[in-house]
Amino acid sequence: MKNRKVCLVVGASSGIGKAAAEALAGRGHRVYGTSRDASRVTTANVVGLDLEINDDHSIREAVGKILEAEKRIDAMFYAAGFYTAGAIEETTPEQIHQQLDAYFVGAHRVTRALLPHFRKVGAGRLLYMSSNAGDAALPYHAIYSCSKAALQIYCDGLRYEVEPLGIQVSYLQNGGVKTGAEASFRRAAEPVAAYDGPRDRAIAAFHRMQQKGPEPKAIGATVADAIEARTMKPVIRADNFSKLIGFLGAVMPAKLFRSQLRKSLDIA
């Protein structure tokens, strides 16, 4: 295949990462997909690799295996991690560290493992899964929002540094998608009764958004489109919901926007 790319998909055993790996492999690209247990990467024509996002050694080992086999990596999509929900006061500092590790520091670990190769060849694509939560604090999901906001600012900063070296950086936003994320989400560890009603309603509403959302197939295709495009857009709003939220966030008075978010998360 002409323009066949070697792609690394981090978090390819489930959900959006799995759909992206499937789309890329379906288009004939050479795809390596990761999980903490490579046997969980079951997509046809996707090579499973063990990778723990909190462990530099395992990340470097996975990247090393691809480079040994393929002599190159062209693109990386980061979709690994879990989310935390609950009131800020209920969330321990350790949980905040873990949330940032999952969506932000983990992404940084993978990025650092790839950049020496990308710099050497003067090319490469880094695409990270963010969320609308990166633009605005979602009620009772603020720590999740913090991790996505950090990731987005990271991408914006990284772009200044590596774009002149031929490396493209983007992040992708999407609304609720039906994935395995609900099974691995973590509740804030130290409940405070004062938040019981709105916190439980907001968590339930967030789960409903995922359950009622589309299957991840469409977003997998969007990832493959981005990796195949001549130039990746810096911010990819994958679905209409994300496009609408991005627009409303920019033009709506803050008070009105916040009241819409309250309604969406069932705490109006």
Distance CA 141, CA 188 (A): 10
**In the structure encoding, which two tokens stand for residue 4, read together?**
């066949």
Question: Residue 76 in contact with residue 125, Cβ under 8 Å?
Answer: yes
- Least separation in angstroms between residue 185's CB and ligand NAP is 8
> Which residue is at the shortest CB distance from ligand NAP?
15
77 binds ligand NAP (CB under 6 A): no
Stretch binding ligand NAP (CB under 6 A), from 45-53, 161-169, 248-256, 258-266: 45-53
Which residue, 123, 105, 103, is CA-closest to 115? 123
95 binds ligand NAP (CB under 6 A): no
179 binds ligand NAP (CB under 6 A): yes
Q: Which is nearer to ligand NAP, 159 or 207 (CB)?
A: 207
246 binds ligand NAP (CB under 6 A): no
DSSP state of 105: I
Q: Which is nearer to ligand NAP, 5 or 237 (CB)?
A: 237
State the residue for tokens 């069932």. 266
Cβ-based neighbours of 115, under 8 Å, separated by 6 or more: 124, 162, 167
Distances (CA, A) of 112 to 2, 63, 213: 28, 11, 33
184 binds ligand NAP (CB under 6 A): yes
Stretch binding ligand NAP (CB under 6 A), from 81-89, 107-115, 194-202, 259-267: 81-89
At residue 152, φ and ψ (nearest 5 deg) are -70, -45
Q: Kindly list the residues in this chain that would bind ligand NAP in the complex (CB under 6 A).
A: 11-17, 35-37, 40, 51-54, 79-83, 103, 129, 131, 174, 176-177, 179-181, 184, 210, 213
